[in-house]
Amino acid sequence: VTTHPPMKDETTTLAEIKRRITAFVDERDWQQFHDPKNLVMALASEVGELADIFRWVPSDKSLELATNSEQKQAVAHELADVMMFTLELASVCGIDLAQAIEAKSRINSERYPIEKSRGSSRKYNRL
């Protein structure tokens, strides 16, 4: 059994998580199932599991549910599933997610200039 130091957002890189997922998949010979289409299906399913926790919860109660209830661990687990399938999909597609986030953030900054979008929930094409 391989042991690792505890993972934390502050100290764990995306590359490290990607490597761990790849090792987990390789040890089980699951690469054969991890084509992009299957991974998108898995990712969407996990988003559905996350959404199910919040289904019919009043909006003004959802923060309390996610941060201060017996459901907090379930939220964390489903969010981890979403993140892991996101990272695995990026790996299989050869996408550097940090680069992709940087590029998309630049686009979002152009679409949502502060002067037009501050305090507004409108989509960029309706600003």
Binding site for Mg ion (CB under 5 A): 46, 49, 78, 81
**What DSSP letter does each residue of 49-71 carry, written as one string?**
HHHHHHTT--HHHHHHHHHHSTT
* Phi-psi region at 41: left, alpha or beta (left = phi > 0; alpha = psi -120 to 50): alpha
Residue 77 C-beta: closest distance to Mg ion, Å: 6
Residue 51 C-beta: closest distance to Mg ion, Å: 11
Nearer to Mg ion, 83 or 112 (CB): 83
Nearer to Mg ion, 85 or 91 (CB): 85
Nearer to Mg ion, 76 or 107 (CB): 76
- 10 Å CB burial of residue 91 (0-12, 13-18, 19+) is buried
Residue 52 C-beta: closest distance to Mg ion, Å: 10
Q: Cβ(104)–Cβ(50) under 8 Å?
A: no
Nearer to Mg ion, 50 or 112 (CB): 50
Residue 7 C-beta: closest distance to Mg ion, Å: 18
Torsion of CA 85, 86, 91, 92, to 10 degrees: 60
For residue 104, the SS3 value is helix
